[in-house]
Amino acid sequence: MSNSDTSSDEDYDEDEDMSNVRHADYTQEQKIVSAVWVHEKQFNGQTYEDLRNNFYLRFKRPPPKSKTLARWEHRLFTQKISRPKKDRIQKASRRLMHIPYIKASFREKPNLTLSERAIQLGLSRSGLHRIIKNDLKESDLRPQNETVDGEIENNSESKHDISTCINSAISDN
């Protein structure tokens, strides 16, 4: 940014007293924006003086020293950014989205083993087992037949097969 574009009262005067401005007085936004400016200054040909003027124009407050700007840039672009661990809610919602497919799989092919069902559904065996154990009821795993009226009727003949499948799923672990 050239100084000819702005009037002299808009430029930052370095002779102002900086003794009352502390680092803690700068917001995170100011630190991040300034760090990005420092990071990009080699590509757009700006100097630290230009960056300090930009800071003053944008935030209407005295800019930090050039050394501080460089430190903010170093911290932002060289440190490992800590990402929060995945919430249990996200994991649960991801797990719960598979439930309708698992129920349908049990209705259509009740005699599959846990490993075969996991392969068919594209899930890990342990993940499928966890969903069966924690999120499904035994009634969800029974095959159901539709009657002529459109009602769903439980097939009691296959109860033994489902119980065997559930027990084998639990014993696989």
- Give the domain-ending residue among 30, 48, 78: 78
* DSSP conformation class of 24: G
98 and 148 housed in the same domain: yes
94 and 167 housed in the same domain: yes
For residue 83, being part of any structural domain is answered with no
CATH number for the domain harbouring residue 107: 1.10.10
72 and 144 housed in the same domain: no
93 and 167 housed in the same domain: yes
92 and 62 housed in the same domain: no
11 and 69 housed in the same domain: yes
42 and 93 housed in the same domain: no
Per-residue pLDDT band at 13 (split at 50, 70, 90): low
Q: Is the pLDDT higher at 127 or at 170?
A: 127
For residue 142, being part of any structural domain is answered with yes
What pLDDT score was predicted for residue 2? 46
**98 pLDDT more than 80:** yes
**150 pLDDT more than 70:** no
- Give the domain-ending residue among 78, 96, 131: 78
Q: What is the pLDDT of residues 21-45, one digit of tens each?
A: 555 689 999 999 999 999 999 889 9
Q: What is the pTM of this model?
A: 0.38
54 and 95 housed in the same domain: no
Per-residue pLDDT band at 7 (split at 50, 70, 90): very low
Buried b (16+ CB within 10 A) or exposed e, 118-156: beebebebeebbebbeeeeeeebbbbeeeeeeeeeeeee
What pLDDT score was predicted for residue 99? 87
For residue 48, being part of any structural domain is answered with yes
What pLDDT score was predicted for residue 89? 53
| Spatial distance between the Cα atoms of 16 and 32, rounded to a whole number of angstroms | 24
- Give the domain-ending residue among 24, 56, 78: 78
Q: Is the pLDDT higher at 86 or at 56?
A: 56
57 and 125 housed in the same domain: no
The parent domain of residue 136 ranges over 88-172
Number of domains in the chain: 2
For residue 147, being part of any structural domain is answered with yes
| Spatial distance between the Cα atoms of 1 and 5, rounded to a whole number of angstroms | 8
9 and 60 housed in the same domain: yes
